[in-house]
Amino acid sequence: MKKIFYAGLFILSGVFLMQSCNTDDFLNTPAPSLTDAAYFSNDDAVITALAGVYDPMGWYNFSQLTEWAIGDACSDDAEKGGGGDGDYAEIFALTQFTANAENPLVLQRWNDLYVGINRANKLIEGLTDNEKISSSVQKRVMGEARFLRAFYHFYLVKTFGPIPIVDHILSPSEYHPKRNSLEECWAFIESDLKAAAAVLPKKSQLPGTEIGRATWGAASAFLTKAYIFQEKWPEAEALAKEIVNSGEYDLEPNYGDIFTMATDNGIESVFDIQFKDFMMPGWLDENEGCHLEVMHRSRDDRNGGWGFDQPTQDLYDEFEEGDIRREWTIISDGDTLWKGTPDEEIIYTAKDPVHHPDSYTGYHKRKGTLPASQRGNGEDQAGLNLRVIRFAEVLLWQAEAAVHNGSDWETPLNRVRARVGLGPTPISDPLEAVYHERRVELAMESHRYWDLVRTGRGNLIPGYTDNKRYLLIPQVEINLNPNLEQNPY
């Protein structure tokens, strides 16, 4: 799958970004023209264009920066970390709930997600009623394009609330759309995901070269997540059970194996964002390598990371005694990783005026920390995929919905606990049991902030108030489009 998705990206610049070249040598040269009809002329061209629609998922600012900055560091699970409050001050402002509408990270998140939507719409329009494309490719790619369009809309809605739905390539007269209602946004997302799930293959049906592309399970899981966010509990439980009973996924036997390159697209992965090490030594080469490993590794100069996204004591204390997930989630000072291998390394997390003056919490994130031999040729080129939805979360969605429906929540929840050698939950309140399990199972995977605010528990976050549920729409977008109403903050 990685071969498919990265093999044509330079070609894609001629499809999606043709106006981006402004080198002096070309000032007196007529602009090239490539119509949709000329480009979408065969199956190979469609697959190449599809790669460009997936591509914004892995861009630096979106999945590799603002996801953990909001999902972890804006919650009670983590502190921003790094080299002091001024190191990525834009993230610090988000975590303090003082970010204004000029925050560049928020603007880039908005832009990147709409780029993905625009690319999906371009592909959909190129496929529609196109007799040059085989019916099998047309059906499959149309399903993936609608999945991707829903994906990007989903992340915009959970970040900004009601947004303008963009379901086609806009003409100049449509450049100032109003925000749709929240109900309209969710209905649109549901419609795209249902259409995608109806035509996409199951994961077990994919040949090896296509592993990582969207499947029935990925579309169904995102639809379940949309139901969860809307508190559509009967629909969420029914669809989660369908995914669970499909036999397409299972829990990795060893919790510690989940966040390794060996389990990229593995049995527990319902949907991963794909990353590949292209062996390029520069910073952000082609936006393809994953920089999360170096960003989250201990900043101690003996470990060489940047020290962002540091787990809190509050998260550490949430784990029950004997829960091995704590040691696979949080690194404590002096822990030795990869014992008995050439990569054996002592990780230093404590505040040290010489080696580590910027330790905020005394802990660092273990999930996604790679041994030196797998860290890639450049600072941002690690090849570890990003787990977006994994099977354990589907089980916990089933449990959460079941609590609200008055049905069996214990079976799926205790299946998650049994994987790490724990018995039935000791928490008597069913909903609190689910909330606890979500926190420790999915800790430091960028879910906590969204969980707290969607369930009305934002008061657990210092500085949060309910009017700050959604981020401010970037001011430049408000200036360009007077029909956009700003969020309260």
Task: Check residue 87 and give its pLDDT.
Answer: 96
Q: Which helix (H) or strand (E) holds 271?
A: strand 269-273
Instruction: Classify residue 89: in a domain, yes or no.
Output: no
Cite the DSSP H helix spans in 333-409: 391-405
Instruction: Classify residue 238: in a domain, yes or no.
Output: no
Question: How many domains does the chain fold into?
Answer: 1
Handedness of CA 314, 450, 96, 293 (dihedral sign): positive
CA atoms within 13 A on the CB side of 244: 20
CA–CA gap between residue 258 and residue 26 (Å, rounded): 49
Supply angle C-alpha 406, 389, 110, rounded to 5.
Answer: 110
Instruction: Classify residue 482: in a domain, yes or no.
Output: no
Task: Check residue 377 and give its pLDDT.
Answer: 65
**Minimum mean pLDDT range among 8-12, 315-319, 366-370:** 8-12
Task: Check residue 276 and give its pLDDT.
Answer: 81
**Minimum mean pLDDT range among 74-88, 374-388, 402-416:** 374-388
Instruction: Classify residue 365: in a domain, yes or no.
Output: yes
Supply angle C-alpha 12, 150, 64, rounded to 5.
Answer: 65
| DSSP SS3 for 77 | coil
Q: Residue 6: is its pLDDT beyond 90?
A: no
Query: Is-above-0.85 flag for pTM?
Result: yes
Q: How do residues 326-372 score in pLDDT, each as one tens digit? A: 999 999 999 999 999 999 999 999 999 999 999 999 999 999 999 99
Q: Residue 26: is its pLDDT beyond 50?
A: no
Q: Are 39 and 45 in contact (CB under 8 A)?
A: yes
> What is the rounded average pLDDT of the residues 209-234?
97
Task: Check residue 36 and give its pLDDT.
Answer: 75
**Minimum mean pLDDT range among 11-20, 85-94, 237-246, 261-270:** 11-20
Q: Residue 8: is its pLDDT beyond 50?
A: no
CA–CA gap between residue 263 and residue 242 (Å, rounded): 23
Instruction: Classify residue 164: in a domain, yes or no.
Output: no
**Which domain covers residue 320, as residue numbers?**
285-374
Instruction: Classify residue 356: in a domain, yes or no.
Output: yes
Q: Which residues pair with 332 in a beta bridge?
A: 363
Instruction: Classify residue 360: in a domain, yes or no.
Output: yes
Q: Residue 29: is its pLDDT beyond 80?
A: no
Task: Check residue 24 and give its pLDDT.
Answer: 38
Instruction: Classify residue 369: in a domain, yes or no.
Output: yes
